[in-house]
Structure 1
Amino acid sequence: MLLSLLCLSLAASPILGPWPSAFPAKALCSNCGLCKSSVGVSSVADACAFLGDGMSRLEKLEPAVHGRGREYEQGDLAEAHFGVHESIKLAAGVGIEGAQWTGVATGVALELLESGAVDAAVVASSSGEAFGGPEPLLCRSGEEILRGRRVKPSLCPSLAVLDEVAADPAITRLLFTGVGCAVQALRAMNGGDPEKALGLEKGGLLVLGTHCVDNSPSPEAARRFVASIPGVGEERAADVTAYEFMADFRVHARVKVEGGGEETVKQAYMTLPPSVGIPSIAPSCFSCFDYTNGLADLVVGYMGAPFEGGKDEMQRAPLMVTVRNERGRGMLDAAVRGGKVRILQEGGRGGAALPSSGSRAAITMKTVAADSMVKSLLDPGFVAGDRGAPAWLGNILAAIIARGLPKGLEFARFSIDYHYLRNRLYVEKEMRGRTGGGERHVPEFAKAIMHRYEEDMAGLRGRGVGGGEKE
């Protein structure tokens, strides 16, 4: 590992070998694309979200990016959960057909490019079919921006286009859209001055982030997962245009039908075979503590938005938009003025004015304990079953469970808490041989969030070692 990092620092040649074995982070590599660019590869030792200080590095970068770090305490964890921000709002895209949701992210990107606020934008495109390999695309037209719509269910090397940016003197202002691990690597490259490395003007980098959790390691893994959903199967997997894990404890998948339309298949989580879970999630995602994309200027996601149920939730549901700084506020305001996004509700700091109900206290640890990855970490003999619950039973159980789930912003807190607790167990095992082990990798804000669960986690570790039921 040390030799490979030294070589990278001496010769700025992109890595072209097989992924992930040829890359410094090995199995934990998120395929962000930094190592695949000449302009970025020399920064990997100090920028990769899964090397050295890892995810904890973002806390050191936040003051430079946002003007201050996160402010939180045990009685107020709003910024521990959602990052540095001015406000959290609910919004919807306007007139963006074919988007994964209503098109807020696409609308912002379109407005910034078409208005001349940026010279180009980087988006995650798709190589044709729904489950074709995600590909980074440097966009100079609205038509190219629209190629970034809809599901990209596996890891995308978004930073691989940095050489193309640096080589074009006409690009002095750039919009980068991406997930947390790629955004962190971008912000940290060149000693924290990516604009200079890319030939941008000072202040010329704008970052539009999305919430991100549990991507598949490859398009093949994503397709296998979708094929395991009852009502989709192998025969319809190629026709899936979008899918999400929704707040009603079901997976929603939009599937093309004859005649050009779509139908939505909804199946309870427990109808999926437990054995499909772990292979469907990249190891880097099991090691991530940046669900909310803390270094982006503006972030779009759905996890804290209200969920009312009914038909076509993914196309009608409001989206949660986090404004982190003045740049992010300007990006959103531009899209609103341009008629591409509309604000549905102002939430203020921590989204305090947004819908939120219930309590995550009871469900969080139950969800952690039931997770297949957690079971496999705590019980070496655990074997996940290859059959899920019958659809009729699973959907009855989902309806019962959903009634007790937290809603709105409290559901977002539940989702963050659960994923961080699960991932803490993962990095304790997978990073224990590194300097500082998993402890060095985990940000302080994540530790603050997990503080309330310390006793429960100690009990879970104690029960899990050397025992456990087989599924």
Structure 2
Amino acid sequence: MTATAPHQKARALKPGSPRPAKALCSECGLCDTYYIHYVKEACAFLNQQIADLEAKTHGRSRNVESEDDWYFGVHQEMMAARKQEPIPGAQWTGIVSSLACEMLTQNLVEGVVCVQNTPEDRFQPQVVIARTPEEVLAAKVNKPTLSPNLSVLEAVEQAGLKRLLVIGVGCQIQALRAVEKQLGLEKLYVLGTPCVDNVTRAGLQKFLETTSRSPETVVHYEFMQDFRVHFKHEDGSTELVPFFGLKTNQLKDVFAPSCMSCFDYVNSLADLVVGYMGAPFGWQWIVVRNQTGQEMLNLVRDQLDVQPVHSQGDRRQAVQQSIPAYDQGVTLPMWAAKLMGVVIEKIGPKGLEYARFSIDSHFTRNYLYLRRQYPEKLEAQVPEYAKRIVAQYKLPPT
């Protein structure tokens, strides 16, 4: 007779009930399952353990002598890529969707944990275990809201799935790695996306209404390497809003406290990461972290145009200037914001240096947030690599 696993005796929390991480809960979904039994160890905001989990997942943690490791995590290879034949309607060219479809088609996995949207709302996440390529394709386009991706783990176990691909962001993947051994899987593949500044659905609505000329027709948006927010609308048009023209004074409190306390922008514990911030405009940035990630990439490599990553410019002055600007909620007139955007696009950081700019800007902001709002958590919550990055800058006094 097989003994009942400890987590199977636990009970998921009811919707709306207080979460163990309290205000810092990222709604990853773990507490929506009986895996809540492991939450004190697994939750990224109760037990930050990236270095230990990197060593278990990748065979080593970050090399303190390597700046690329500080910034981008453990990796075997980085490149810029785009699909030769883009998937219609994909937010980029469809690398993530293509890879997930290929893994199903080749029977490497029995299911893919991904995020579709509800029938009523294109931005409201609906987590599914996709069993067909059609179900994967129904999940294309990012949902920039907090999403309980791990809420289906109980269903995965009960369905007897043994080979699984999970697509997710850093806080979800840290919790997933912490409970990986309890899932009873023969093989887990993790495809990550970089993640920063998620919001609740209400917070997203405030951002859209504050920033876009037509919030009701936005299909998707992204903060891009040209220092503009790109809004794609239903009619196919693209609206560009300079970073420096955002109404920071109205938006400072829109981001989730968990995102303001996170230092895993680059999804350190995924096998393979697909984003954009380290690549030229129009391309995607791919980070292979381990051999499993290499095997995943090989499935679609012949469908891609690939080029090496590059780095240009110096981010440091722009980052240092951004610290007080964000802190004080500075918003430039639109004409000045557009002019500054043009200048920075021409002479500012590009490629990996733009990625470092984005990481530095968010890490310094988040460090200040923790120092002010949760000083008792500061030492334990900030990983060593993030402390090294933040130490490059002069921060305002407490």
Q: Same fold (TM over 0.5)?
A: yes
Equivalents in 2 of 1:452, 1:271: separation in Å?
26
Matches within 5 A, 1:97-108: 97-108=88-99
Equivalents in 2 of 1:79, 1:227: separation in Å?
38
Kept in 2, the 8 Å contact 1:34–1:159? The answer is: yes
1:154 match: secondary structure: coil
Alpha-carbon offset, residue 16 of structure 1: 1.2
Post-superposition Cα deviations, 1:445-467, rounded to whole Å, max 9, x if no partner, equal 111222322xx12xx22xxx6xx
1:133 match: secondary structure: strand
Alpha-carbon offset, residue 135 of structure 1: 1.7
Post-superposition Cα deviations, 1:185-231, rounded to whole Å, max 9, x if no partner, equal 00012xxxx24x22211xx0000000000011x1121122112225x
Matches within 5 A, 1:57-136: 57-73=49-65, 76-93=66-83, 94-128=85-119, 131-136=122-127
> Residue 450 of structure 1 corresponds to which residue in structure 2?
390
Kept in 2, the 8 Å contact 1:122–1:137? The answer is: yes
1:280 match: secondary structure: coil
Kept in 2, the 8 Å contact 1:130–1:151? The answer is: no
Would you say 1:416 and 2:381 are equivalent positions? no
- Tell me the matched-pair count: 392
Matches within 5 A, 1:101-250: 101-128=92-119, 131-169=122-160, 171-189=161-179, 194-195=180-181, 197-201=182-186, 204-216=187-199, 218-230=200-212, 232=213, 236-250=214-228
Equivalents in 2 of 1:228, 1:411: separation in Å?
26
Q: Which moved more, 1:113-122 or 1:398-407?
A: 398-407
> Residue 19 of structure 2 corresponds to which residue in structure 1?
23
Distance 1:131 1:369, change over 3 A: farther
Q: Which amino acid aligns with 2:142?
A: V
> Residue 294 of structure 2 corresponds to which residue in structure 1?
329
Alpha-carbon offset, residue 131 of structure 1: 4.5
Would you say 1:286 and 2:256 are equivalent positions? no
Would you say 1:406 and 2:349 are equivalent positions? yes
Q: Which amino acid aligns with 1:175?
A: L
Coordinate RMSD, CA, aligned: 1.9
Q: Which amino acid aligns with 2:52?
A: K
Post-superposition Cα deviations, 1:115-139, rounded to whole Å, max 9, x if no partner, equal 1111111002111356432121101
Would you say 1:427 and 2:389 are equivalent positions? no
Would you say 1:35 and 2:31 are equivalent positions? yes
> Residue 3 of structure 2 corresponds to which residue in structure 1?
none
Q: Which amino acid aligns with 2:355?
A: A
2:40 to 45, 50, 70: 45
> Residue 273 of structure 2 corresponds to which residue in structure 1?
299
Identity of aligned residues (%): 40
1:252 match: secondary structure: strand
1:367 to 322, 332, 339: 322
Distance 1:124 1:116, change over 3 A: same
Kept in 2, the 8 Å contact 1:356–1:409? The answer is: yes
Structure 2: gaps of 5 or more residues: 1-5
Alpha-carbon offset, residue 302 of structure 1: 0.6
Distance 1:397 1:95, change over 3 A: closer
Q: Which amino acid aligns with 2:316?
A: A
Kept in 1, the 8 Å contact 2:123–2:145? The answer is: no
Kept in 2, the 8 Å contact 1:150–1:242? The answer is: yes
Alpha-carbon offset, residue 29 of structure 1: 0.4
Alpha-carbon offset, residue 318 of structure 1: 0.8
Equivalents in 2 of 1:134, 1:10: separation in Å?
26
Post-superposition Cα deviations, 1:85-105, rounded to whole Å, max 9, x if no partner, equal 001011113331111111111
Alpha-carbon offset, residue 268 of structure 1: 1.4
Equivalents in 2 of 1:150, 1:276: separation in Å?
26
- TM-score (structure 2 length as normaliser): 0.94
Alpha-carbon offset, residue 397 of structure 1: 2.7
2:237 match: secondary structure: strand
Q: Which amino acid aligns with 1:91?
A: A
